[in-house]
Amino acid sequence: MSGGSDPRCFDVSEDSALRLLWILLPMLSFIGVTAWHLREPAPFSTLIFDITASPPYFTMGGSPGWSLLVAITVTGVLCWKYFQRRVQLDNGVLTVWSTFYRRRTAVVDMQLDEAVVVDMTRDRRQGLQCRTNAYSLPGFHSGHYRLRGGGKGFALVTDLRRVLVIPVREGPTLLLSVEQPQQLLQALRNDRG
């Protein structure tokens, strides 16, 4: 382990902000439908909080405007968190921040001899099978997954064609999209010494 060194950050592979359309379009549709129904007065309700199967879907204190406020807030948070990602190596610990998730892994626990860079569009053995606790959009994966080859994984995947897969002893496999995966792998090997 290196003692007292400055943290090293590794650039995450860039991806298209157009992926946010998978969030924005459904939410804008929801907001539009809800706003359309705001033209009519909401039926009187004695409940403080009321949920319905038709627009405006829920009201608080009889006001349907809360549906709009919640939809706009959720959309804003999901879009903001989409850009929150970072990979940092500091004092023998690799920390990965990815949207709502953070994973800290000691370099000594990594099986660096088995680490590989894979194209997940072609090598299905290294793929993500299902989410256990994750934030996902087509082509973007963040959080905790079950892997096709068995076991658990922690992903920050922005580019399926170039993913650094690092097995971890007694922990989830790390799947990382970084601009220079070989540089990160070499830094991890140097840090382990």
Say which range, 50-59, 101-110, 118-127, has the weakest mean pLDDT.
50-59
What lies within 8 Å, CB to CB, of 64 at 6+ separation is 34, 37, 38, 42, 55, 56
pLDDT in tens, 60-83: 666 667 777 888 899 999 999 999
Q: Which two tokens stand for residue 114?
A: 């088995």
At 2, the pLDDT band (50, 70, 90 cuts) reads very low
